[in-house]
Amino acid sequence: MLIFMKSVFALLLQAYRRFERLADPAQRQRFVTFCDEQADWLGDYALYFALKRDQQELPWTEWPKPLRLREPA
C-alpha cells in the first residue's frame, strides 16, 4: 500500500506542477473558485493527506496522540 500511495502522490505532484506551468487564467480562476467553494473540507483533507504521508501511511488511529487527538484551530 505504501508503494501505491507514493505513486499516487508522485502523480498528483506532477499534475500540480504541470498546472502551475501551463494553466491559463481561466483555468486558474476555476481552481480558485473550486477551492473557495470547497473550503469547508479542503483544508482538513489536505492536512490529513500530509499527516498520513508523514506517518508512513499508518491509519490515523495509530498516529501519535497529539496528532490523533488534535484540537481544531
pTM score over 0.85: no
Res. 3 pLDDT band, cuts 50 70 90: confident
pLDDT at 22 over 70: yes
**Residue-wise pLDDT tens digits, 23-61:** 999 999 999 999 999 999 999 999 998 999 899 989 999
C-alpha separations of 55 from 3, 20, 28, 50, 59 in Å:
14, 27, 31, 9, 9
